[in-house]
Structure 1
Amino acid sequence: MRVGIFPASGGLGTSTYTNLLSQVPNNQVTLINRYPEKVPKKYVENGVTVRQASYESSAEELQAVFTGVDVLFLISFPSSVHLYRTKVQTKALDAAQKAGVKHIFYSSLAFASINAESAKAEVMAAHLDSEAHLKELARTNSGLSWTSIREGLYSESFPVYAGFQDFKNPPSTIRIPQEGNGFGVSWAKQDELGEASARLIASYAKSPSAFKYTNKIVTLSGPKSWTWAETVEVLSRATGKDINIQAVSLEEYKSLPQIKAYFGTEQINTLDTAWQAIRAGEAAGVTTSLGEILGRDAEPFEKTIEEFAK
């Protein structure tokens, strides 16, 4: 059974395919991305097929590169712009169905209450649209099934929300639009999410009939939810620096130079709904699925941060 990953690049994509290649025959794997020449030669020499395409490719081009693939991991387009993201992902999903793909794994996001079909965060909207489209494709095409993997918010990404970019030089005060003891986030390590995604894909490829997540959502959260006070306490211990939280208005938060620089004019207004979702607890859900799929305890948030702060 041929497995494809698109796009096979970026942190999650690279983690997934490097883990997958240790679990399935390499000559049954197709890696599709904008720059296939960047796939390490050792994998190509071991039999991996590489193809060129991106989300900007035409529907016909995507159908062509998906042809021959039985199981496709479609990694979501990296943008929080709702309508454009939905448009390009729907195009890719339709192309996969027309190409004859039998099962689509979709990398969704755990920025909603567990198994919920609605969410406050605009960044989640395109994921919900794509999940709904997958369900409809499977309903109207008996040869297609799906699994949506709601990947937890990356432990490594918390500086994005906290308004700094350097683990080794964090500020003494973190200004966020949230009280420290309010709802937090169930942070998950990116590489473990990639490993778990690979294990799910390999499990389906080896025995589709025994796979328990067919036509289901699986949420891969971290092992616990961390309030922002706890999150900052972890950073303080890891860096040896006394760090405090200052709750500020959303407008003040969005006006911080580092926030404006990171998100830019197109995406900065998505922060309004993102923080609404965090304050409502929609990023705080916890499941045991990540550890169960890994076959070991998921790495605690504090260990991941200690490694980054070294």
Structure 2
Amino acid sequence: MTETLLVTGASGQLGRGVIHHLLDTLKVPPARIVAATRNPENLADLATRGVAIRQADFDDTASLVEAFKVAARVLIISTGEIDLGGKRLKQHENAVAAAKKAGVSHLLYTSMPNPEPGSPVLFAGDHYGTEQAIKASGIPYTIFRNGWYQENLFMSLPHAIASGQWYTSAADGRIAHGARDDMAVAIAAGLASGDAESTTYTLTGPQAYTVAEIAALVTDVTGKPIEVVQLSDEALTEGLKAAGIPSDFAPIVVSFDTNTRSGRIGMVTDAIETLSGKKPKSLRHFLEANKAALAG
């Protein structure tokens, strides 16, 4: 297989992870890899390894077309614009249109689990709209519905460990956090596979836990007890604002808990192992590996 593979958002954590797995795990020749980013100067290390660097701005469709022209398979990593003003969906639609114009043969995209209408996650519509745009383009596709990263726990656990209290509105909803690196290797494998069929994968960790079960696991690893305090969505939103979370971002954070409580993120799949051949790392592994950073 000699197709050229392009990764957008290549200077981000997931994008870099995908490219490093293409190079080091899957041994894809660097001449077949294109790293696209708004800021090419941030990818000098990849350039020295022989990876082609292309400037590509999701707000500039012409730059996307120019970058995508050199690639057969393009991975669109969702952008970080979650201001709820519709900007991210427009950026993604620009990328899909550019892929169509550039003659891309297979389009890959990082979405989220269950983004269909009705999702409590406030930016789910961005992902669902992008999936619909991809399907409407007629380009064969692979959609990776990435579950929540284990690394996302850095947003809540350090404070919970330090204070001894974890405020949540997730109730008994379950979530199977997965390691970002495990998702990166699975996505890299899908990108390099050459598969031409249209497919959707949901990527998760190996086990789903409630917040109370995660708290018990954290206590077991760190020795620090955590009391889980269940709140309403409204009370949690106000508490986050009082703690300094920006008022426009707090409802987004709370919508994750609402989503967990609704059961829409509780699935466990074997997609990571199916794609990469590697068993995903457990939550305990993550906690033990990051014990010092989490517990201060």
Per the TM superposition, whether the score is higher than 0.5 is yes
Which residue in the other structure is 2:168 paired with? 176
What per-residue deviation string (whole Å, max 9, x for no partner) do you get for residues 39-80 of structure 1? 243x32332110122323x11122112111111010001133
- Conserved? CA contact 1:62–1:92, under 8 Å: yes
Structure 2 residue 246 is matched with structure 1 residue 269: no
Which residue in the other structure is 1:69 paired with? 71
- Conserved? CA contact 1:68–1:100, under 8 Å: no
Which residue in the other structure is 1:201 paired with? 191
| Aligned counterparts of 2:177 and 2:242: Cα–Cα separation in 1 | 20
Question: Per the alignment, do residues 84 and 15 of structure 1 end up closer, same or farther by CA in structure 2, a change over 3 Å counting?
Answer: same
Which residue in the other structure is 1:39 paired with? 43
- Conserved? CA contact 1:19–1:194, under 8 Å: yes
Which residue in the other structure is 1:124 paired with? 124
Which residue in the other structure is 2:142 paired with? 147
- Conserved? CA contact 2:168–2:257, under 8 Å: no
What per-residue deviation string (whole Å, max 9, x for no partner) do you get for residues 87-124 of structure 1? 111111111211111111101112x28xx675232222
Question: Per the alignment, do residues 102 and 52 of structure 1 end up closer, same or farther by CA in structure 2, a change over 3 Å counting?
Answer: same
How far did residue 177 of structure 1 move?
1.5
Equivalent of residue 7 in structure 1, options 6, 9, 15: 9
What per-residue deviation string (whole Å, max 9, x for no partner) do you get for residues 197-222 of structure 1? 10111112xxx35xxxx212111111
Q: Could you tell me which amino acid in structure 1 is paired with residue 36 of structure 2?
A: I
| Aligned counterparts of 2:207 and 2:144: Cα–Cα separation in 1 | 18
- Conserved? CA contact 2:169–2:258, under 8 Å: no
Equivalent of residue 211 in structure 2, options 228, 237, 242: 228
How far did residue 156 of structure 1 move?
1.3
| Aligned counterparts of 1:256 and 1:118: Cα–Cα separation in 2 | 25
| Aligned counterparts of 1:259 and 1:132: Cα–Cα separation in 2 | 38
Report the 3-state secondary structure (helix = DSSP H, G, I; strand = E; otherwise coil) of the residue aligned with 1:256.
helix
Sequence identity, in percent? 23
Question: Per the alignment, do residues 120 and 166 of structure 1 end up closer, same or farther by CA in structure 2, a change over 3 Å counting?
Answer: closer
Which residue in the other structure is 1:305 paired with? 287
Which residue in the other structure is 1:296 paired with? 278
What per-residue deviation string (whole Å, max 9, x for no partner) do you get for residues 129-166 of structure 1? 1001100001xxxxx21110011100110243x4x556
Q: Could you tell me which amino acid in structure 2 is paired with residue 87 of structure 1?
A: K
State the Cα RMSD in Å.
Answer: 2.1
Q: Structure 1 stretches of 5 or more lacking a match?
A: 139-143
TM-score by length of 2: 0.89
Which residue in the other structure is 2:181 paired with? 191
Which residue in the other structure is 1:141 paired with? none
Report the 3-state secondary structure (helix = DSSP H, G, I; strand = E; otherwise coil) of the residue aligned with 2:248.
helix
Q: Could you tell me which amino acid in structure 2 is paired with residue 218 of structure 1?
A: Y
| Number of residue pairs the alignment of both structures matches | 287
| Aligned counterparts of 2:241 and 2:226: Cα–Cα separation in 1 | 18
Which residue in the other structure is 2:106 paired with? 103
How far did residue 238 of structure 1 move?
2.0
Structure 2 residue 23 is matched with structure 1 residue 21: yes
Report the 3-state secondary structure (helix = DSSP H, G, I; strand = E; otherwise coil) of the residue aligned with 1:55.
coil
